[in-house]
Structure 1
Amino acid sequence: MNDVIIIGGSFAGLAAALQLGRAGRKVTILDTGLPRNRFAGHSHGVLGHDHKPPQDILAAARQQLARYPAIKLISTRADSISGAIEDFSVLAGDGKTFKARRLILSYGVVDQMPDVPGFAESWGTSIVPCPYCDGFEVAGQHWGVVWSGPQSHNQVRLFLDWTDKLTVFADGHEISPEIQADLARRSIPVAFGRIVEIARHQGHTATVKLDTGRDIAVDILFAQPRNKPSSSLHESMVLATVETPTGIVLKVDERRQTSVPGIYAAGDLATPFLPSVTQSTWQGAMAGIFAQQSMLA
């Protein structure tokens, strides 16, 4: 029997495995090889790995884990989980069953692209979600911001640390008169109407086409589409969740444990705000450490 099965082998899952493997705990990682940030050309703000392709960072991490005999990485999908603390079962896509005393869920989320021509094709290049990840490279340029709700007002204020050239795209949302007045005071124009197409150009540049007939070119477009967990495994165990402006995440306590004893969660799957590689790595490491400590005699 494994000490821990980790479902999801991106930054959070690998960080958890590293801590457990170094403690000599038997770990199996089940991974589909489809990390959320696979669309990004570079990962930024990661200490020691700034401006490296995320897939390169993950490949190096997997190589480093290979020196720990207690860690096994298997390329497969987890189809179901069952059981309870000290006796969990995971059924994999190839029909094999794995047993473990603890589980760490780090299978992340998937972004749900709106039904707008060009949006999905531009995701990760012309359209990005996070200024901490991509803002420096386009600082001082013309940014577009797709309004998604009241939280977008705070995003606009945040973005002003990088650029003073902003256009807000209402995209069919109502923006209160008070917020419109504040945007006007900051000299931030609002383009009303729904986005009907994104035309991507060389580099980050894109043209946003509106149903009002306007075409507005921006150097980069920031958007936060809704997302959802990349698997429904948590539903079968009835794990508690938390609603966020863009979707749901798993609820965890200060030790990264979910509402079911023995099941821990880390990474984007359990991050309500501003997910990042740095945060996922930290959460994964802590989930591994707390899972190990929970098994002490």
Structure 2
Amino acid sequence: MTTPNFDAIVVGGSYAGLSAALQLARARRRVLVVDAGQRRNRFARESHGFLGRDGQGAAAIAQAGRDDVAAYPNVSWHQGAALDARAEGEGFVVELEGAPAVHGRRLVLATGVRDELPPVEGLAERWGRSVFHCPYCHGYELQEGAIGILATGELSFHQAMMLPDWGRVTLFTNGNFTPNEEQRAAMAARGVAAIEETLVARIEDAATVVLLDGRRLPMAGLFTYGRTHMASPLAERLGCAFDDGPLGRFIRTDERKQTSVPGVYAGGDAARAAGNVAIAVADGAIAGAGAHQSLMFG
């Protein structure tokens, strides 16, 4: 039987993973953090809505979290990917990129998701800078200016109903969503300024929508929904159950953030239908505490 190297291995060194690791470190457990260095919000310059850190650089917040966790001598780090994981002995073996495999009694997955964006020319390079998906994170900074919504399906109706609180909204249906009369009336009542059904050719400048008929509609910012996919295959390889969310699958967990596989916990965007930095930190704290309590009580 393999002797565990660690009490817990946390896969993911962003907000949820660091938060989970902090709880375990403060419980004086031997913790390994595995960080591939691919934060989901790495494209955003600033992060908003996280109490005490509002408006600070997203990378700086993550680095401050890492510094907090690294101050504990019972925490080890691996800078690189977790390539595979399997149950073995009294826990789990994790195969590491560029290092020998490690064994932990508990496993916390904070592996995040990757975003599949709509195939609109010029959109991807503006993601996180002038094209967003969360108004709570980025809406206020648009200063009640012109806001465009690039529709991707029925869920864009929900986005259109929300965003008038942040600015003057134009919904670009782009062939992906045709609102019915009831939806049109509801959007008008909410204050949606326009519904534009001409197809979008590309995005230029900061957030100018160029239509196929040549019209150029400058926006302060754009919002859209993409699809989310697991950034790591570990949950699937371990046999964790998933639930279907409006944007993609996410790992099923209970109230203590344990997955369907005993001893495997999950937190952050990989284990929620939607989230932000504040929610990821809270989620990670629950997952870390849950993993610790299971070490004590089973």
For this structure pair, what is the TM-score category when the shorter chain's length is used for normalisation? over 0.9
Equivalent pairs, count: 291
What is residue 138 of structure 1 aligned with on the other side?
Answer: 142
**Which has the larger displacement, 41-50 or 212-221?**
212-221
Please state if 1:180 is matched with 2:184. Answer: yes
What is residue 226 of structure 1 aligned with on the other side?
Answer: 227
User: Shift in Å at residue 196 of structure 1?
Assistant: 2.5
**Which has the larger displacement, 6-15 or 147-156?**
147-156
Structure 2 regions of 5+ residues with no counterpart?
Answer: none
SS at match of 1:160: helix
User: Shift in Å at residue 152 of structure 1?
Assistant: 2.3
Deviations along 1:16-54, one digit per CA (max 9) or x if unpaired, are 011100110111011111101011110011111111001
Paired AA for residue 216 in structure 1: L
What is residue 256 of structure 1 aligned with on the other side?
Answer: 257
Q: Distance in 1 between matches of 2:53 and 2:263?
A: 32
User: Shift in Å at residue 249 of structure 1?
Assistant: 0.8
Q: Distance in 1 between matches of 2:264 and 2:43?
A: 29
Q: Distance in 2 between matches of 1:141 and 1:11?
A: 31
What is residue 287 of structure 2 aligned with on the other side?
Answer: 287
Paired AA for residue 166 in structure 1: V
What is residue 296 of structure 1 aligned with on the other side?
Answer: 296
The normalised TM-score by structure 1 is 0.93
Please state if 1:170 is matched with 2:173. Answer: yes
Paired AA for residue 294 in structure 2: S
Q: Distance in 1 between matches of 2:230 and 2:198?
A: 30
* Alpha carbons 1:85, 1:102 under 8 Å: kept: no
Q: Distance in 2 between matches of 1:89 and 1:19?
A: 22
Q: Distance in 2 between matches of 1:209 and 1:232?
A: 38
**Which has the larger displacement, 154-163 or 222-231?**
154-163
Specify which of 168, 174, 198 is matched with residue 193 of structure 1. Answer: 198
SS at match of 1:296: helix
What is residue 6 of structure 2 aligned with on the other side?
Answer: 2
Deviations along 1:128-186, one digit per CA (max 9) or x if unpaired, are 111111111113111011223333222222222222x1100102122223212322443
Q: Quick one: percent identity of the two aligned structures?
A: 38
User: Shift in Å at residue 84 of structure 1?
Assistant: 5.2
The 5-angstrom pairing of residues 103-114 of structure 1 reads 103-114=107-118
Q: CA RMSD in A?
A: 1.6
Q: Distance in 2 between matches of 1:130 and 1:117?
A: 21
Q: Distance in 2 between matches of 1:85 and 1:191?
A: 59
Paired AA for residue 52 in structure 2: G
Q: Distance in 1 between matches of 2:187 and 2:27?
A: 53
User: Shift in Å at residue 93 of structure 1?
Assistant: 1.4
* Alpha carbons 1:126, 1:200 under 8 Å: kept: no
* Alpha carbons 2:156, 2:224 under 8 Å: kept: no
Paired AA for residue 18 in structure 1: L
* Alpha carbons 1:183, 1:189 under 8 Å: kept: no
* Alpha carbons 1:42, 1:51 under 8 Å: kept: yes
Please state if 1:25 is matched with 2:29. Answer: yes
* Alpha carbons 2:164, 2:192 under 8 Å: kept: no
Deviations along 1:247-276, one digit per CA (max 9) or x if unpaired, are 111111111011111111100101113x11
What is residue 71 of structure 2 aligned with on the other side?
Answer: 67
Paired AA for residue 10 in structure 1: S
SS at match of 2:296: coil
User: Shift in Å at residue 86 of structure 1?
Assistant: 2.7
Q: Distance in 1 between matches of 2:169 and 2:97?
A: 46
Q: 1:63 to 1:87 in 2, by over 3 A?
A: same
